Amino acid sequence: MESIYKAFKEIELPDACPPNVKEELISEIDLIRNSLSVVEVYVDDLFSVASALLSIINLPSRSSHS
């Protein structure tokens, strides 16, 4: 999985681009990727908990009492 992260660090920008802009771009990409990883973990946990709760709860069956 490390090779995926290296792909972002190997971005080649034109010579006209200052080195600090390249570093900032890579930093922003890393921040977005890390943020999405955190969101993915919490959303996955949230769906796991919701699924477990739904499987525990016995919904009342609909029977007509006419």
> What does the pLDDT read at residue 51?
83
Q: Where are the domains of the chain?
A: 2-8+18-53
Q: What are 6-50's pLDDT values in tens digits? A: 666 666 655 677 788 888 988 999 999 999 999 888 888 888 888
pTM: 0.49
Write out the DSSP string of 1-54. -HHHHHHHHT----TTS-HHHHHHHHHHHHHHHHHHHHHHHHHHHHHHHHHHHH
